[in-house]
Structure 1
Amino acid sequence: MISLQDFQINPLITPGWLGILALIAIGLVILCLMLRLRGGIWRAGMMALLLIGLLAPQFTDQSREKLSDIVLVLADRSASQQLGNRTVQTDQAIEALHQKYDNDPDIDLRVENVAGETRTDMFAALDRLLGGIPRERLAGVVMITDGQVHDVPVSLHLDAPLHALITGTRDERDRRLQMHQNVDYGIVGKDAEFIVEAIDPDITAGNPISVTLLQEDGTVRRFNVPANQKTSITIPITHAGPVIAELRMAALRDEADTTNNRLILETTGVRDRLRVLLLSGEPHPGERAWRNLLRADPGVDLVHFTILRPPEKGDDTPINELALIPFPIRDLFEVRLKQFDLVIFDRYQRRGVLPVQYLEKVVEYVQGGGAALVVAGPEYIAPDGLADTVLGQMMPLDATGRILEQGFIPRVNDTGRLHPVTSAIAGPRQATHRWGHWYRQIETRQTNAQAMTVMTGINDLPLLTMSRVGEGRAAILTSDQMWLWQRGHDGGGPIAELLRRLSHWLMKEPALEENTITTTRSADGASLDLTWRKIGAAPQTATAIDPVTLSAINAPFTRQSDQTWQANIPIAQHGLIRITARDAKGKSQTALHVDRDVLTSERRNTTSTTEILGKIVAANNGYIGRIENGLPAFRRVTRESSWNGPKWAGMVQTESYRTLIGTTNNLLPLPALAIIGVILCLFGWRRETR
């Protein structure tokens, strides 16, 4: 199509000078008229022609091709769209658009699927698509969704209509649990308070709704909460580390989605302060290593006593003048012992300072959940040492009475390579560590079959051995030479990391547990995969408790090439699942599996709605309606007309085109301008000569 599309001027001189010349020309014409000079009209015509020539008027001949208008269709394919018949409705709407526009050469229909497991970000996808098209060709945007869109902007200017087709049904019912106040951290021994709301739009606010609380220890609490009102739920923080519970609400028969009927209550337990009692039998280089390590930890309160002068040392100096402070035996071992998380006996001898009955209280303290560590030097097997006391009998090693004095390099054994206390310092199995030598070790033999020796010394004798005693923990280091590493002797060694991990294991740091069970959901979602890193007796069976029926599901363990054990439990239920694993000696260990999918924005509210998109659709002159009521009629509209109606949605005619051929022609070519000028001059000259 050829058309006179554009008329333009391209002045040969700047507009300022052109204006000055125009004023001069007008002045000369007026002067000629006032003086009644002959040829004034011809002069005026000549000056006008000169000015027009300086303007250089042009016109453009163009051949243009009409471009199709682009219609963007965004189909919500998120997890909530899988409910009910929403997928069918979405496919039907897309098919209707294809039938309407596929054969229309003036429409370029582009369909984009927007997936999302945790969120529905329709406008992020729209922004990405708009960046790849000319905005002047946009005829309209159609969103097909259930209305649960999580990235709706405050404002949006498309210069084209935004239409929303809502899937689902108007009478859908979906009750859900919603978190209003979470608790990130809590003090061990106290309760964590969560603020939640049981939402059911079909129940009057305040009416009771029955809920069930599943706790880590297997306890199940059933109680009522007021509907559609915020309420407080508390769970006890019994240990350090993650503390988890699950709140469940009974599902309705006709409910659209039941996954949001449960809510994970999760916090992290922290100890207010870890308190350590360090008792040194006499001043020596090793006690400084312990003191410096424990004082450097901001989460540890250290109480340290050193016996500077034993009572049997004979001189005439009164005892009250020798002691810096009296040793508070009764206060420490009767009144305050249970306030400590760990008691360390560092090269300690009784020497009449600590009566046997107080050592018995230490044993009771450990069996009740405390922790004790003995650093054994020659004093340990002396006549008044700890080896022959109830405390020595509680240790996992039995001293033979021999002191071995020769150089050796401490070594992490195979068990130590699995144990978190020493695995971090073990290094590659084939590598030879250039650690410094130690020169003294107490000969011992292991008497507790459940004990774990993680480091060895001379002739592979136990160097560091740990064990569980009742509800507590005990460990013994059979050398007092660790301070050599701290001093850097012979290259030193990882003493700070070793002692830090050992002390925190004794104080039950969850991250340092040696027997841990990890759980993962299988790819098909129908089972749980368990991996048990086990030291000691071989695992036999794993049992999971179904969180809905509370029935037990069993599965056997099998040994893997990496020395771990695995089991697969066929359980499709999601949420908080309690698992108990048993070994060949009847000992059990518990673990928790948590499916956190209920915490995602996508599952928090799945009821189809027109409210979330209503304002932004109206701001862009679009149509919004439910597909169940029928699809709107799609029309072509101009920019100046209305873009939507009660039962129809408009697509703007953009009148976009592409220029195929374009030529620019001067309205007054220079040759023509010269000829006309000569003619006018001749006529003016003739007029004046008459």
Structure 2
Amino acid sequence: MLAPLIGTAAAVWIAVVIAVLAALSVAFSIWRGLKGAWWRGAALLLIALALSGPGIQRGTARPLSDIVILLDDRSASQSLPTRREASDAALRQIETQLSEWPETEVRRVTVGDSDDGTLLGAALSKAIAAEPANRLAGAIVVSDGLSHDAGVIPETAPAPVHFLQTGRPEDWDRRIVIDEAPGFALIGEPATISLHIADEGQTPDETAGPTTLTARLDGEVIATIAVTPGTRVELPVTLETAGANVILLSVGTEDGELTGLNNQAALTVNAVRDRLRVLLVSGEPNAGERTWRNLLKSDANIDLIHFTILRPPEKFDGVPVNELALIAFPTRELFMERIEDFDLIIFDRYRMRGILLPEYYDNIRRYVENGGAVLVSAGPEFAGVDSIARSALGPVLPARPTGRVIDTPFLPRLTEEGRKHPVTDGLPGAPAAEGSASQGDDWGRWLRMIETVPTPDSTVAMTGTDNQPLLMLRRQGDGRVALIASDQLWLWGRGFEGGGPQLDLMRRVAHWSMKEPELEEEALELRTLAGQSVEVTRRSLMDDPGPVQLTGPSGQLAEITLDETAPGRFTGRFTAPEPGLYTVRQGELTRSVAVGPAAPREFDRTVANAADMAALVENSGGSTHRLSDGIPELRRVAEGRPAEGRGVGGRWIGLYERQAETITGLSRRPVLPDWAWLCLIGAVMLAGWLIEGRRAA
């Protein structure tokens, strides 16, 4: 025929043209009353049909198996009483039944724990999307329904989704819910934590009354209040220690509760100072005065009051007293009435000149003993008869001057204790220790210092010429006192002989005086690592502070041995056997850390609930069943038929019988061979000619 010669598409168009001509020819012949019109039209139609190449197409197909998604929830909440056993029994029975069905595949999906909780929705969405819709017989979800990504649970599915819910109808639980909690709080100012106690499930009548809420800070009880479940309460907490403070809130566990893990909640509040208030008193203009001022003014968290005495009182030049200063030095107000408002008082080359009365110095000493801080930057006046070391402030200073001023260039060096102390540990370019093979003298020299005799309880962090004490730190009562026995620190800032870490040293000394946690020489630090591991770091000036004692969330005790990893730093690690609050103690030092959430997210809600799965189950034509009522039987149903019911043997759930196929082969043969078409066309034409000829005769 023409199709192989001119192409199938062209042949079809020729056939269409001929068919149209046939129709027009028949219509014209009938209109004109011509004989044989039907026979001519039939012949033309046969020609068009032959050109179109009609054929019979046959294909071979292979049946495809149905797919059943079986989702197994293995999250932590499934470990609550009876849930794991019920899940395992249901899964075994379902898999046994499905294994007996012909042409059925099971896609087992397991959902475990993650940092974001139980991601039931993500697992189910991914499993459904991965399978062809025409092969999916259905999905069976065995879970307590507690999903932490309910928003991504699909709204429908191409096959019924059945939810088999674990848990018991009588389950109930109590938990602490933190409504609002501050991330930061001001030291000494109350911070408010808003919370309520939530009871969920079938709560017994005898537990409806108030319960006792206990708040602990680093293991110490700071508040105990009575709270009625469902009532919001405001808990004020006052923090006195700067840095991270771990607060543990807990209520007692009642009989019958699913778990006690969510009866406690840990939160971390960072305690900060509102603003550090510093009083800088310069006894006379000097090169280091601006250094101290620039350092303190550059810190936005510091409020600085600075007074410089330009004209000593002993200078008699006839100038009236009311013209000696633009602003009168409010000595009584600063050193008697409002001294407690300051976090640090700096005396920069100050000497007793009668400006401060003797009772003022005595009041400064009491200020230190009550928790205040004093820093003395000493020059030659510190060695004279008018040195402030001879005032009532002298007993709290870290050293007393001998009266000798050493005018000899020297290189500041760190002592053995200075290499351990956080104030001087790790200062850039520090000279190597005496006797060390390495030499790292990157610091420039100073030109003058004051000879002093340190007190037995002070720490000498740096030395100058002939190992004379240069930087001394002392704890006095609840306060701190620092003494720099030289007025040459400014040389480092000017780059003299290479300079040195002037700003680092000044900032560290000032902030140590104001009790910044990072600069405590005797401290405990806890840091959580991966896999519920915790690193314990003990900073100490002692050669071996010994092991620390660990208390776990269940009250278990353990001892952790620390190894020296750097001068003044001792480190140990432990792996927490369970999430919760762990407290480490050594002497008077106590720190706490929450390993994982104190109330893990998996146990935030514990009462089984089908609400998150309800929309998907309903829209897909599935069903919800409690495993505590028994395990439903499986049945195969036709698509569109009900997928659940109750029979003689009990409840049943249905899965579609898809009967999907895939084409494996395709064959095609013409309806008639070419010669048959020619014979048929010729026969019609001949029949028409004969019939038309007879009629004409």
TM-score tier, shorter chain, comes to 0.7 to 0.9
Aligned residues: percent identity?
Answer: 34
Which residue does the alignment assign to 1:34?
A: 31
Describe how 1:388-537 pairs up with structure 2 within 5 A. 388-426=390-428, 432=440, 434-449=442-457, 451-519=458-526, 530-536=536-542
Describe how 1:103-118 pairs up with structure 2 within 5 A. 103-116=100-113
Moved more, 533-542 or 226-235: 533-542
Cα distance per residue 1:489-543 (max 9 Å; x no partner):
4443333333333322221222332322245799999x99854222236435645
Describe how 1:160-199 pairs up with structure 2 within 5 A. 160-199=159-198
Is the alpha carbon distance of 1:571 and 1:28 closer, same or farther for their aligned partners in structure 2, counting shifts above 3 Å? Answer: closer
**1:598–1:604: 8 Å Cα contact kept in structure 2?**
no
Cα distance per residue 1:602-661 (max 9 Å; x no partner):
111212233343333223222211112111111112222122335222222233323322
**1:277–1:302: 8 Å Cα contact kept in structure 2?**
yes
Say how many residue pairs are matched: 672
SS at structure 2 position matched to 1:330: helix
Is the alpha carbon distance of 1:436 and 1:520 closer, same or farther for their aligned partners in structure 2, counting shifts above 3 Å? Answer: closer
Moved more, 326-335 or 316-325: 316-325
SS at structure 2 position matched to 1:304: strand
**1:193–1:235: 8 Å Cα contact kept in structure 2?**
yes
Query: How far is 1:289 from its partner?
Result: 2.0
Cα distance per residue 1:365-391 (max 9 Å; x no partner):
111011111112222222212233343
Cα distance per residue 1:62-88 (max 9 Å; x no partner):
222212122121211111111212222
d(CA) in 2 for partners of 1:349 and 1:80? Answer: 70
Which residue does the alignment assign to 2:319?
A: 317
**2:68–2:138: 8 Å Cα contact kept in structure 1?**
yes
Among candidates 576, 582, 585, match of residue 580 of structure 1: 585
d(CA) in 2 for partners of 1:71 and 1:88? Answer: 22
Among candidates 96, 99, 106, match of residue 96 of structure 2: 99
SS at structure 1 position matched to 2:425: helix
Counterpart of 1:354, as a letter, is: L
Among candidates 202, 212, 215, match of residue 210 of structure 1: 212
Which residue does the alignment assign to 1:75?
A: 72
d(CA) in 1 for partners of 2:527 and 2:374? Answer: 36
Is the alpha carbon distance of 1:53 and 1:475 closer, same or farther for their aligned partners in structure 2, counting shifts above 3 Å? Answer: farther
Moved more, 453-462 or 498-507: 453-462
Which residue does the alignment assign to 2:9?
A: 12
d(CA) in 1 for partners of 2:403 and 2:614? Answer: 85
Describe how 1:234-633 pairs up with structure 2 within 5 A. 234-426=236-428, 432=440, 434-449=442-457, 451-519=458-526, 530-536=536-542, 538-540=544-546, 542-543=548-549, 555=559, 559-560=563-564, 562=566, 564-565=569-570, 575-576=580-581, 578-582=583-587, 588-633=588-633
Query: How far is 1:21 from its partner?
Result: 7.5
SS at structure 1 position matched to 2:423: helix
**2:261–2:599: 8 Å Cα contact kept in structure 1?**
no
d(CA) in 2 for partners of 1:259 and 1:356? Answer: 60
Is the alpha carbon distance of 1:622 and 1:355 closer, same or farther for their aligned partners in structure 2, counting shifts above 3 Å? Answer: same
Moved more, 204-213 or 510-519: 204-213
**Structure 1 unmatched ranges of 5 or more:** 1-9, 583-587
d(CA) in 2 for partners of 1:414 and 1:284? Answer: 32
Counterpart of 1:145, as a letter, is: S
Query: How far is 1:364 from its partner?
Result: 1.0
SS at structure 2 position matched to 1:112: strand
Cα distance per residue 1:421-441 (max 9 Å; x no partner):
333534797572634433333
Which residue does the alignment assign to 1:142?
A: 140
Counterpart of 2:658, as a letter, is: T
Query: How far is 1:165 from its partner?
Result: 1.4
Which residue does the alignment assign to 2:4?
A: none
Which residue does the alignment assign to 1:229?
A: 231
Q: CA RMSD in A?
A: 3.7
**1:438–1:484: 8 Å Cα contact kept in structure 2?**
yes
**1:194–1:265: 8 Å Cα contact kept in structure 2?**
no
Is the alpha carbon distance of 1:507 and 1:56 closer, same or farther for their aligned partners in structure 2, counting shifts above 3 Å? Answer: farther
**2:550–2:560: 8 Å Cα contact kept in structure 1?**
no
SS at structure 1 position matched to 2:262: helix
Is the alpha carbon distance of 1:557 and 1:687 closer, same or farther for their aligned partners in structure 2, counting shifts above 3 Å? Answer: same
Query: How far is 1:305 from its partner?
Result: 0.9
**2:443–2:497: 8 Å Cα contact kept in structure 1?**
yes
d(CA) in 2 for partners of 1:56 and 1:290? Answer: 103
Cα distance per residue 1:281-302 (max 9 Å; x no partner):
2222322222222222221111
d(CA) in 1 for partners of 2:519 and 2:39? Answer: 108
Cα distance per residue 1:303-336 (max 9 Å; x no partner):
1111122222343333433322111111110111
**1:416–1:454: 8 Å Cα contact kept in structure 2?**
yes
**1:539–1:557: 8 Å Cα contact kept in structure 2?**
no
Cα distance per residue 1:395-449 (max 9 Å; x no partner):
2233333333344444445434443333353479757263443333323343233
Is the alpha carbon distance of 1:361 and 1:523 closer, same or farther for their aligned partners in structure 2, counting shifts above 3 Å? Answer: same
Moved more, 33-42 or 371-380: 33-42
d(CA) in 1 for partners of 2:334 and 2:123? Answer: 66
**2:368–2:476: 8 Å Cα contact kept in structure 1?**
yes
Which residue does the alignment assign to 1:637?
A: 637
Counterpart of 2:119, as a letter, is: D
SS at structure 2 position matched to 1:116: coil
d(CA) in 1 for partners of 2:107 and 2:615? Answer: 25
Which residue does the alignment assign to 1:655?
A: 659
Counterpart of 1:139, as a letter, is: A
**1:542–1:567: 8 Å Cα contact kept in structure 2?**
no
Query: How far is 1:15 from its partner?
Result: 10
Structure 1 residue 126 corresponds to structure 2 residue 124: yes
**2:419–2:425: 8 Å Cα contact kept in structure 1?**
yes
**Structure 2 unmatched ranges of 5 or more:** 1-6, 433-437
d(CA) in 2 for partners of 1:14 and 1:441? Answer: 112
Counterpart of 1:293, as a letter, is: L
Moved more, 598-607 or 459-468: 459-468
Counterpart of 2:106, as a letter, is: L
Which residue does the alignment assign to 2:3?
A: none
**Given the two structures, how large is their TM-score scaled by the length of structure 1?**
0.86
d(CA) in 1 for partners of 2:51 and 2:454? Answer: 111
**2:191–2:237: 8 Å Cα contact kept in structure 1?**
yes
Query: How far is 1:272 from its partner?
Result: 1.7
d(CA) in 1 for partners of 2:323 and 2:538? Answer: 58
**Given the two structures, how large is their TM-score scaled by the length of structure 2?**
0.85
**1:79–1:117: 8 Å Cα contact kept in structure 2?**
no
d(CA) in 2 for partners of 1:350 and 1:18? Answer: 123
